[in-house]
A = this chain, B = another copy of it.
């Protein structure tokens, strides 16, 4: 696209770097911003800068945090012997929303994906293994996407963890609550039969 102004061009290019944003969408953003009040626009610019200056990755679990160590890792009420391994910050939000998990997290920062050139060394896997050496961890829960990349990463971690005497579990795959069996795919339905659970464990919840 050709623009009448260098500034528009540069701003469109900058917005087009955002995930899922092409040049046409970027231009829509730019035109929207030009029409906004200066105060609003300055606020957006300031917030973007603050994302970088005021936020860091927790040095312990790689969660996004305003402090060196995040609120979850510093919370004495949470069980530090339990580690839930997730892909990124959004998964922590999702799990926290359930209110059913009281352990710590470990954010990998992605999933193994040869297609995208992401290998184990690009992820926070070594630091997870390091944590096991202290012998204070009793269980690792893998909560990764049910995709090819998620399964590959889970299996990689499974092999890495094998030498240590720690319980390794994965979140249950199965029919989503509210879903009808008829419309479930075979793999999910198959897994939910194989990994069936005692009925009385459902009654307790």
A97 CB–B CB distance under 8 Å: yes
Which residue in B34, B51, B66 is a CB contact (below 8 Å) of A30?
B51
**A3 close to B93 (CB less than 8 A):** yes
Q: How far is the CA of A66 from the CA of B34 in the complex (A)?
A: 12
Q: How far is the CA of A84 from the CA of B189 in the complex (A)?
A: 60
**B4 close to A70 (CB less than 8 A):** yes
Which residue in B8, B41, B64 is a CB contact (below 8 Å) of A52?
B41
- Per-residue 0/1 for A24-56: is the Cβ within 8 Å of any B Cβ (1 yes, 0 no)? 010111111110101011111111111111110
Q: How far is the CA of A29 from the CA of B186 in the complex (A)?
A: 35
A200 CB–B CB distance under 8 Å: no
Which residue in B4, B44, B55 is a CB contact (below 8 Å) of A8?
B55
**B2 close to A93 (CB less than 8 A):** yes
Q: Which of A79-101 contact B (CB under 8 A)?
A: 88-90, 92-93, 96-97
Distance (whole angstroms) from the CB of A126 to the closest CB of chain B: 19
Q: How far is the CA of A32 from the CA of B48 in the complex (A)?
A: 11
Stretch at the interface among A13-21, A113-121, A162-170, A173-181: A13-21
Q: What number of copies of this chain does the assembly contain?
A: 2
A11 CB–B CB distance under 8 Å: yes
Q: How far is the CA of A120 from the CA of B134 in the complex (A)?
A: 71
A65 CB–B CB distance under 8 Å: yes
A77 CB–B CB distance under 8 Å: no
Q: How far is the CA of A54 from the CA of B18 in the complex (A)?
A: 23
A5 CB–B CB distance under 8 Å: yes
Considering the complex, give the chain B residue whose CB is closest to the CB of A70.
Answer: B4
On A, residues with C-beta under 8 Å from B are 1-5, 7-8, 10-11, 14-15, 17-20, 25, 27-34, 36, 38, 40-55, 63-66, 70-72, 88-90, 92-93, 96-97
